[in-house]
Chain A
Amino acid sequence: MELFLSQILNGLAIGQVYALIALGFSLVFGVANIINFAQGALFMLGAFIAYSAIAWFGLPLVPAAAVSVVIVAILGLLLERIALRPLIGAPYVAPFLSTLAISTIIDQSAEIVWSPESQPFPASISSTTFFIGNAYITVTDLVIFGFGAAATVALTLFVSFTWTGRALRATAQDASAAAQLGIRTDVMRQIAFGLAGALGALSGILVALYFQSVFPQMGIPFGLKGFAAALLGGLASIPGAVVGGLLLGIGETLASAYVGDSYRDAIAFTLLLLMLLVRPNGLLGGGRLDALGGAGAAAGAMPTTSLLASSSSQQSALRAYYLPPWGFLAVGAAFALVPLVVSSTYVLQALIYGFIFALLSASTSLVSGSVGILSIGQAAFFGVGAYAVGVFARPYGLPADATLAIAIGLTALVAVVAAIPLLKLTGHTAALGTLAIGQIGFLVFLNWVSVTRGPMGILNIPHPVLELLGGLRFATTEQKYWLVLGFAAVALVIAERYVSSPIGRVWRAIREDRLAALAAGLPVRRYILLAFAVSGALAGLAGGLFAYVQQVVSPESFTVETSILVLTMAVLGGLGNLTGAALAGFALAILPEFLRGFAEWRMIVYGLLLLVALRVRPQGLLGAR
């Protein structure tokens, strides 16, 4: 009981921090109707700038925090200016992808500036502990809770009683009506982003104080938790964000106390998915429009993910270039000749990764483009396929035909189950659901030690043997090259057949207008699940082949970075266009192999590429379909 009470008190403190992150999401969602994926990155920067101010310039905690909050607020303004303002009137999905690109650029830059390692936070509050009966609470908890609560109250007073706050709310309710009344809605957007930056920084510093450490990858998990808290409360309501944050904090602290600390995040993300499944409008969503967001926001109404539909609809560039299904076989046949001329195993190895990522990128394009559910969790499916081979190949001595079949089937199944919470969602919310799936996948790979062997990974995966081809063994690089190429080509033929068939047409119809598809008598959910099954099967095959090529499977291959990378590939190739996805996946995967010193900068360059592409060619290289 004492432990229980202590955990609740402890949970309230961290929950208050989640509430602050959630408020950043809510403000921006209310005013600009987008989910700012970079909120987590701003949060991380807040922590690191405060860290640097203390560790490098010797500032005391409070001035360091103030400096950090101001700088990040300005960065929030810049984010709106650089990543979003140019995209007004662009396809609805572009701003979200744009904040995703910015987030990647910030996260990766932070790894270069501050190193990818975790650093101890150089300031702390007294570690005095109070006892209430037998339950305890630390001064740190109290300070964090106090600051968080004060910031929340200040924000509530600001939006409720100041002129600017009213203008913000008016913009959130109806931007065009607010503009008619003379409110500078563009300034309101900037204010919302600036405030979101300030809240992000403040929460980052409080988290650094709470956990006494900072690391560049902290943005995405905490950003996602903040989003979960915002969604729990109804996405567009200030009291909702606070309630959601506190509930999440308490739930997660209790879970980590009773289930185990390594599952802390997995539990938070599972809660998010359950929430999406049961009450996508949040606990306080629906009827109550207390603060921000208006009716559309309360209903969680989200624009279509079509890359062609936009507020300034008449996009003329509808031309898409793509191969017919047999075209993939033809290209595959041409590539099959390469080992006859090129003997460098280095080059062949690079090409093998190119094929695997072509497959993975196509699998992402299928759900993200054709069905319009942006997937930021594809790495989880990739990983399931890889671990299936890792687990079944040596211990059970199964041949590659069997292990790959298991990889394909199991991943398709996992993808279908994972997609169930996403069925009611559209637009940005669905995308964050897939991000949660990706995170859960990674945490399972990392923590389910009895099966995955945790961070160590599974070593010594044997060379693949195809029993159906009379026990044919693929041991050399050339042999594996042909194996991967053959499987990738055939899988792409099947995927392209799907996309070109009436089934693919239904997928696109669901993306364009889900309600109209329902009214046409189509079992929409079934078709979405089928898409996830096909996409999962492709990703599982890619993972299985990857395991055989690497001969090692370990969690770091399946991080959110991989998911973002393949989504970037899919967008650059042209969402829904498998030829484009395969081409972009192939090209972006082999590029770093041939550019020395590029690896570190790779994600930054791709992030910039995505940012530029969204401005000049949102339909991608070969055109979205």
Chain B
Amino acid sequence: MTGEAIVVDNVSRVFGGLKAVDGASLKLARGETVAIVGPNGAGKSTLIQLISGVDRADSGTIHVDGVRTDHLPPDRIARLGVGRSFQTSRVFPALTVWDSVLVGVQAGLIETRSGRLIDPVTESAGALLGLPFWRRRVAAQEAAAEAALKLFGDRLWPRRDQPALGLSYANRRRLEIARLLAAEPRYLLLDEPSAGMNPTETEELTHLILDLRRTHPDMGILVIEHKLSMVRRIADRVVVLNQGRVLIEDKPDHALDHPEVVEAYLGRARSGANFQDAHHG
């Protein structure tokens, strides 16, 4: 299992008697955008939990760029370049927008080129004494944070000194994505990024992802998304999950219009089979 990709192989996760993920396999190569769709309870979010190490698989393997990650702690996996958002966006409520994004780049600040962490004593000395080598690192990280915030136009940058808890729902999602992007991840895993966004905001997000594909041609993007119109526009491939299994994996139009998919989503076949946004709960 080598090569630059996240490779999920035959992974299962059981909660009590319920098989949330049941022998699912999938591959996310760098530079491609893959969307995971499926009805509620299909195991989409669980899959992201497993890839990011927040939850552990009961069986199967996960590799990130050839490194086996299915028993690594989440912070290690994140430092391999896997950035993930959460279904209910997790911002640091009392931290300002600016501080939140800086937390996102902190791991880069204390990591050396060889992937080792700088020891706490050196880190303390650098931070307390303001040594030149440290200041250079901090300046680089702050530049990355600023660039990430400015990706969202005037949505976040003018609010950088406000605490995150005062942000609107959509802005919290944006902040979470900005925090991830500031760390310049190799892979971006987004768990329902457009949830709670109105059509205008969803359109904005779609453009942002399309822009990201252009500006970060090496980044692999995995999106869980219910808004299928958006999926059609951003994804190279669509993976349809149902009851923890991969039902179909194909180009968006093929996958989404497949009769089995329509049935899994809506519970019955629909004439025309060209449904747009499926809103489930």
Contact = CB atoms under 8 A, between A and B. Distances in A.
A247 interface: no
A20 to B, nearest CB: 32
Contacts of B128: 494, 497-498, 501
Contact of A519 (B78, B138, B165): B78
- The secondary structure that dominates the B interface is helix
Q: Report which residue of B93, B127, B179 has the largest number of chain A beta carbons within 10 angstroms of its beta carbon.
A: B93
Interface string B99-123: 1101110111101000001001001
Nearest to B111: A521
A522 B127 contact: no
B150 interface: no
Interface band, chain B = 35 or more
B157 interface: no
Contacts of B158: none
Contacts of A517: 92, 103
Contacts of B92: 508-509, 512-513, 516-517
Interface stretch (A22-30, A376-384, A523-531): A523-531
Interface string A302-335: 0000101100011100100000000000000000
B33 interface: no
Contacts of A79: none
A521 to B, nearest CB: 3
A520 B104 contact: yes
B163 A308 contact: yes
B192 to A, nearest CB: 16
B74 A519 contact: yes
Contacts of A509: 92, 95, 99-100, 103, 106
A508 B95 contact: yes
Interface string B73-96: 111001100011010001111110
Contact of B127 (A498, A511, A523): A498
Contact of A526 (B103, B120, B163): B120
B54 A522 contact: no
A528 to B, nearest CB: 11
Contact of A505 (B79, B83, B95): B95
Contacts of B120: 526, 529-530, 533
Nearest to B163: A318
Contacts of A505: 95, 99, 102-103, 106
15 contacts: A309-B93, A309-B165, A498-B127, A502-B106, A503-B123, A512-B94, A513-B93, A517-B103, A518-B73, A519-B74, A519-B75, A521-B111, A522-B78, A522-B106, A526-B117
Given A509-B103, A521-B111, 20 more contacts: A309-B94, A309-B165, A313-B93, A318-B94, A494-B128, A498-B128, A502-B102, A509-B100, A509-B106, A512-B94, A513-B93, A518-B74, A519-B75, A519-B90, A520-B78, A520-B103, A520-B104, A520-B107, A521-B183, A533-B120
Interface of A: 306, 308-309, 313-315, 318, 494, 497-498, 501-503, 505-506, 508-509, 511-513, 515-524, 526, 529-530, 533
